[in-house]
């Protein structure tokens, strides 16, 4: 038996379920921010997709919150029995569309025809990430359905070639790049095993207050007061549509915001509201 195929079958045989309690968020790997100091030769690189994170446990497709994604039966019928981690994605710049499609309680069959499940990880599978990449390729070919696709991974030649790829992706409307440590075993939690390289950074905070608007925004939301995970608070006042200002996120809601960098006090600089996380 060829060595690669044996490794693939070994991975399939010993892969663990993504998680066991459907009422809880599945443990997943989360990215830190890319830094120039890393040993680039040890990382595999892929495009960062602006889709919806989706975890397949072999039977049910779920959001990162643990909620079930109501996908059409045909979409999940031929997915592998092995757990998968990836993004439900349509195309660059289509986040709002794919979000609207996959959040529906009753599946929009026509909309789902445009959705692809872009796989980048095998929860619980043994071996280094570079080997799991080969396993993903094998699983996708075996399933042989057009909506299941492996995210292409490559080793950058040097920092110059990485920067060129990053610039090309961003210029084309992409979000940036992901760097995954090639020899890393599967793990969960936030780690340097996975790094994100973006022109702007995303983070999450909890809504703790509403600031009334003035002038054109009189009678609507002016800004959200939000609390970061470390307990610090700041005002988030831009990035909202008029509809969101009329009906702002409720207190206790987790929101995602985008920012350029941090102030000397460690607060986000030029922060803009991006989306409500609970809606996913």
Q: Which residue has the tokens 């609507």?
A: 220
CA separation for the pair 125, 102 (Å, rounded): 27
Q: Supply φ then ψ for residue 158, to 5 degrees.
A: -160, 180
Q: Between vectors from CA 106 to CA 99 and to CA 82, what angle results, nearest 5°? A: 70
Which one of the listed residues 48, 164, 198, 214 is annotated catalytic? 48
DSSP at 81: S
**Quick count: other Cβ atoms within 10 Å of Cβ 15?**
22
User: Measured between alpha carbons, how far is 63 from 39 in angstroms, rounded to an integer?
Assistant: 32
**How long a stretch of residues is the chain?**
280
Q: Around 197, how many Cα atoms within 13 Å sit in the side-chain half-sphere?
A: 24
- The torsion angle over the Cα atoms of residues 211, 214, 216 and 217, rounded to 10 degrees, is 20
> Nearest Cα to 186, choosing from 261, 133, 254?
133
Listing DSSP states for 246-265 in one string gives HSPPPTT-EEEEEESEE-TT
Tell me if residue 198 is catalytic: no
Whether the CB-CB separation of 119 and 149 falls below 8 Å is answered with yes
Q: Which residues are catalytic?
A: 48
């Amino acid at each position: 038996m060829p060595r690669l195929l044996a490794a693939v079958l070994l991975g399939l045989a010993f892969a663990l379920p993504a998680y066991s309690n459907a009422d809880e968020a599945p443990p997943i790997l989360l990215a830190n921010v890319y830094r120039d100091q890393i040993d680039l030769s040890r990382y595999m690189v892929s495009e960062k997709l602006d889709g919806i994170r989706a975890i397949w446990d072999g039977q049910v497709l779920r959001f990162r919150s643990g909620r079930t994604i109501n996908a059409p039966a045909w979409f999940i019928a031929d997915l592998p029995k092995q757990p998968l981690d990836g993004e439900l994605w349509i195309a660059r710049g289509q986040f709002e569309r794919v979000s609207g499609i996959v959040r529906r309680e009753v599946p929009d069959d026509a909309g789902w025809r445009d959705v692809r499940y872009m796989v980048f990880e095998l929860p619980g599978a043994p071996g280094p990430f570079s080997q799991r990449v080969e396993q993903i390729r094998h699983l996708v070919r075996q399933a042989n359905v057009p909506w299941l696709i492996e995210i292409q991974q490559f080793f950058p030649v040097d920092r110059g070639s990485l920067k060129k790829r990053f610039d090309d992706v961003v210029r084309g409307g992409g979000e940036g790049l992901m760097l995954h440590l090639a020899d890393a075993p599967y793990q969960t939690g936030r780690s340097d095993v996975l790094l994100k390289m973006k022109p702007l950074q995303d983070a999450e905070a909890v809504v703790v207050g509403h600031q009334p608007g003035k002038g054109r925004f009189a009678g609507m939301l002016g800004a959200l007061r939000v609390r970061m995970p470390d307990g610090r608070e700041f005002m988030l006042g831009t990035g909202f549509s008029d509809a969101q200002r009329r009906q702002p996120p409720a207190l206790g809601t987790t929101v995602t915001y985008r920012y350029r960098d941090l102030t000397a006090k460690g607060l986000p600089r030029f922060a803009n509201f991006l989306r409500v996380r609970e809606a996913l």
